[in-house]
């Protein structure tokens, strides 16, 4: 009688649905080795064994493994690092020069006239993730230099392709509603498996792989893990061959363990952790090594449970789940109880988190003291942000359309810990008009802040420009046709407007005017019976004036200026109203004598400030 596996057909079948509870699930974590430093090594065409550090001004933000052998660390002063390794190559990161429209690798960037750009590293990251997607259809972006891969579905089809008889059996079991039946063993011995990477020993196995590979029968979990190790090795090899980057990897049954394994042996190594090896692997680890336990939560655990900060996992295994839940709450307590035992049911999220905001900033050394010094930086910030938005639009793979920001924010910091922040809604725009819209709004807002905070504006130590509220423009683009009116004459315009209103009120199509003239609209070609020379016009949704396409931007700017002036006036009126209210309150509470009392010096300012 054939021996049965510990796993059922249902366990195998659940892999194709990326089930987080499947015991055959395999997750990998890929982590680039000293990524920023590698990017500079590749860019400069250097030998990977050349000691190199990424330089930002006079400090180091990344150090490759060749330089780490000399004891050089991040944030170290360059002069000190050079003492340890005279041959150290210090590659300064790319920078935006004040007023430039693109970043460059400048020979001698100056902190007074340049700002840092990390765009080159993001570009390389995109190239690496493209390779990951070639091999796996469920990849989670965990950072610019790391990602999780759920190999479950790939392994499901790989196992069935490698074992055709199993495919026939699972189809039969599915038809007869017998997926809960146990599968037959794969008829393999430990010595038959061909692993890639550092295979961590099981609980009672010897450290030496050759000594433990023998006649021990293996089950389907090891078959899946073995195939995953080979796939990840292939991915890492392609990244190296194609892009010249090395990366380390961890392979296990969940995200927590995979992440721990990827850092177990670096650089350019991969570690494989099977279920039977988890306890042995976790035992010597400091509990702060777990992601999320190295900060305030870790400190809280040490304090509440009287556990030393350097304690290993077994110290915490003695704490009951009930006690963890009582102190940390149900969700956190249960999560901690599980991960200390190597259990994690978090899914690998295929959707890359969309940026909710973008910011470009500069710390001024020395400080700046005038509008003339600040405005060129606003130009640079706009170029920086706009280039990123355009880049994301060009690389977007979803159908959500171009995501454009709705709000612009300026933040400045000054001497004596004074800071100012103001924001304005951005006028609707397209990618083609994005830079101009950002710059116009930024300059307008800056001048307003400067006028309002004149006495505390300078000297300025920090300035940043941010955008937020990203939204898709697809719906707006679809509505453009209803606002494009070709030909001239009030009768035709009136008929077109009536038709548009019947279909949908213009008030629901905010900001359509700004899209007119866009090259991506569906109505870029005039109707056959419309002369090519006739100028297109549109009806302004705000004032219902007929405006030519050529004058759209100017007309839109006029409305925007009017709205800005109205907003400023309302702010002034509100301040005055609050001031008057304060006066009335002070008068009524002080009785008849205080009603005629003279306001002391400084009180009027207090009243008017609300």
- Does residue 486 register a pLDDT over 80? no
CATH second-level architecture of 357-472?
2-Layer Sandwich (3.30)
Local structure of 428: helix, strand or coil: coil
Tokens, residue 589: 């509470």
Tokens, residue 210: 């050759």
Residue 278, exposed/middle/buried by CB under 10 A (0-12, 13-18, 19+)?
Answer: buried
Q: Give the whole-angstrom CA distance, residue 14 versus residue 597.
A: 82
For residue range 246-298, list pLDDT tens digits in order: 999 999 999 999 999 999 999 999 999 999 999 999 999 988 888 888 788 88
Q: Give the whole-angstrom CA distance, residue 287 versus residue 277.
A: 17
- Does residue 517 register a pLDDT over 60? no
Instruction: Provide the pLDDT for residue 2.
Output: 63
For the chain, give every domain's residue range.
Answer: 357-472, 477-554
Instruction: Provide the pLDDT for residue 300.
Output: 86
Work out the pLDDT band at 566, boundaries 50, 70, 90. low
Work out the pLDDT band at 567, boundaries 50, 70, 90. low
Instruction: Provide the pLDDT for residue 395.
Output: 64
- Cβ neighbours of residue 422 under 8 Å, at least 6 residues apart? 409, 410, 445, 448, 449
Instruction: Provide the pLDDT for residue 368.
Output: 92
Q: Concatenated DSSP letters for 524-569?
A: -SPPTTS-TTSPPEEE-TTT--EEEGGGHHHHHHHHHHHHHHHHHH
As a whole number of Å, the end-to-end CA separation of the chain is 88
Of the CA atoms within 13 Å of residue 446, those in its CB half-sphere come to: 24
- Does residue 22 register a pLDDT over 90? yes
How many CB atoms sit inside 10 A of residue 67's CB?
Answer: 26
- Cβ neighbours of residue 232 under 8 Å, at least 6 residues apart? 28, 30, 149, 196, 197, 249, 251, 270
Local structure of 503: helix, strand or coil: helix
Instruction: Provide the pLDDT for residue 562.
Output: 52
Q: Are strands 270-272 and 247-252 parallel, antiparallel or unpaired?
A: parallel
Q: Which residues of 34-48 are buried (b: 16+ CB within 10 A; e: fewer)?
A: bbbbbbbbeeeebeb
Mean pLDDT for 103-130 is 93
Q: Give the whole-angstrom CA distance, residue 537 versus residue 550.
A: 8
Mean pLDDT for 35-62 is 95
CA distances from 379 to 206, 373, 430, 461 (A): 63, 11, 18, 18
Q: Concatenated DSSP letters for 168-224?
A: HHHHHHHHTT-TTSEEEP---BGGG----SEE---TTS-S-HHHH-SS-B--HHHHH
106 φ, ψ to 5°? Answer: -85, 145
Instruction: Provide the pLDDT for residue 290.
Output: 87
Q: Which residues partner with 264 through β-bridges?
A: none
The mean predicted confidence, pLDDT, of the chain is 80
Mean pLDDT for 434-446 is 95
- Does residue 93 register a pLDDT over 90? yes
Work out the pLDDT band at 310, boundaries 50, 70, 90. confident
For residue range 144-183, list pLDDT tens digits in order: 999 999 999 999 999 999 999 998 999 999 999 999 999 9
Tokens, residue 107: 């020979």
Q: Concatenated DSSP letters for 221-274?
A: HHHHHHHHHHHHHHHHHHHHHHH---EEEEEESSHHHHHHHHTTS-SS-EEE--
Instruction: Let me know how many helices (H) and strands (E) the chain has, helices first.
Output: 21, 21
Work out the pLDDT band at 569, boundaries 50, 70, 90. low
Instruction: Provide the pLDDT for residue 530.
Output: 29
Tokens, residue 113: 């006239």
CB 427, CB 514: distance < 8 Å:
yes
357 φ, ψ to 5°? Answer: -155, 160
- Does residue 95 register a pLDDT over 80? yes
CA distances from 251 to 73, 196, 197 (A): 28, 11, 9
Mean pLDDT for 117-123 is 93
- Does residue 504 register a pLDDT over 70? no
Between 152-162 and 220-243, two packed helices, what is the crossing angle to 10 degrees?
Answer: 110
Which among 291-295, 393-397, 545-549 has the top mean pLDDT? 291-295
- Does residue 74 register a pLDDT over 70? yes
Instruction: Provide the pLDDT for residue 393.
Output: 76
Instruction: Provide the pLDDT for residue 481.
Output: 34
- The beta-carbon contacts of 334-338 under 8 Å, at least 24 apart in sequence, are 336/293, 336/301
Tokens, residue 412: 């400045």
For residue range 402-418, list pLDDT tens digits in order: 789 999 999 999 987 88
Integer-rounded Cα radius of gyration of the chain? 32
- Does residue 510 register a pLDDT over 70? no
């Amino acid at each position: 009688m054939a021996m049965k596996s510990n796993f059922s057909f249902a366990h195998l079948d659940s892999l194709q649905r990326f089930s987080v509870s499947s015991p055959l699930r395999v997750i990998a974590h890929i982590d680039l080795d000293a990524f920023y430093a590698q990017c500079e090594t590749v860019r400069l065409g250097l030998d990977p064994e050349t000691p190199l550090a990424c330089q930002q001004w006079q400090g180091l933000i990344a150090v490759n493994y060749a330089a780490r052998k000399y004891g050089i660390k991040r944030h170290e002063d360059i002069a000190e690092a050079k003492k340890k390794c005279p041959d150290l190559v210090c590659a300064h990161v790319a920078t935006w020069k004040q007023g430039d429209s693109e970043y460059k690798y400048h020979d001698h960037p100056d902190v007074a006239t340049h700002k840092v750009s990390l765009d080159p590293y993001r570009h390389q990251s995109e190239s690496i993730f493209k390779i990951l997607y070639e091999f796996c259809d469920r990849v989670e972006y965990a950072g610019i230099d790391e990602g999780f891969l759920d190999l479950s579905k790939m392994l499901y089809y790989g196992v069935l392709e490698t074992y055709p008889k199993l495919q026939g059996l699972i189809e039969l079991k599915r038809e007869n509603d017998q997926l809960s039946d146990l599968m037959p063993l794969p008829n393999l011995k430990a010595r038959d498996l061909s692993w890639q990477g550092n295979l961590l020993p099981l609980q009672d196995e010897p450290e030496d792989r050759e000594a433990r590979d023998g006649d021990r029968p293996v089950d389907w979990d090891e078959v899946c893990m073995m195939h995953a190790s080979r796939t990840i090795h292939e991915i890492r090899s392609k990244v190296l061959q194609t892009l010249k980057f090395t990366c380390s990897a961890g392979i296990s049954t969940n995200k927590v363990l995979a992440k721990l394994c990827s850092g177990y042996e670096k650089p350019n190594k991969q570690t494989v952790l099977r279920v039977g090896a988890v306890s042995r692997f976790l035992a010597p680890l400091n509990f702060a090594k777990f992601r999320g336990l190295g900060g305030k939560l870790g400190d809280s655990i040490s304090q509440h449970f009287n556990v030393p900060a350097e304690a290993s996992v077994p110290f915490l295994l003695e704490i009951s789940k009930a006690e963890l839940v009582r102190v940390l709450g149900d969700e956190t307590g249960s999560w901690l109880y599980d991960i200390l035992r190597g259990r994690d049911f978090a899914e690998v999220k295929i959707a890359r988190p969309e940026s909710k905001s973008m910011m470009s900033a500069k710390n001024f050394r020395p400080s700046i003291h005038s509008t003339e010094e600040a405005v060129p930086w606003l130009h640079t910030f706009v170029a920086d942000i706009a280039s990123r938005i355009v880049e994301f639009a060009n690389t977007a793979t979803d159908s959500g359309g171009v995501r454009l920001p709705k709000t612009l924010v300026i933040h400045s910091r000054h001497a004596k810990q004074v800071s100012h922040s103001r924001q304005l809604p951005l006028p609707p725009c397209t990618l083609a008009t994005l830079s101009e819209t950002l710059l116009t709004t930024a300059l307008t807002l800056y001048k307003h802040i400067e006028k309002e905070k004149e006495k505390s504006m300078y000297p300025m130590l920090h300035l940043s420009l941010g955008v937020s509220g990203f939204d898709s423009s697809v719906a707006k683009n679809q509505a453009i046709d209803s606002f494009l009116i070709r030909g001239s004459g009030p009768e035709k315009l009136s008929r077109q407007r009536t038709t548009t209103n019947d279909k949908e009120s213009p008030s629901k199509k905010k900001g359509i005017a700004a899209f007119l003239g866009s090259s991506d609209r569906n109505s870029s070609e005039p109707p056959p019976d419309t002369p090519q020379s006739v100028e297109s016009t549109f009806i302004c949704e705000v004032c219902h004036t007929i405006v030519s396409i050529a004058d759209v931007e100017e007309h839109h700017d006029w409305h925007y200026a009017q709205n800005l002036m109205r907003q400023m006036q309302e702010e002034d009126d509100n301040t005055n109203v609050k001031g008057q209210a304060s006066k009335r309150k002070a008068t009524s509470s002080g009785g008849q004598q205080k009603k005629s009392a003279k306001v002391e010096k400084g009180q009027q300012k207090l009243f008017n400030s609300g």
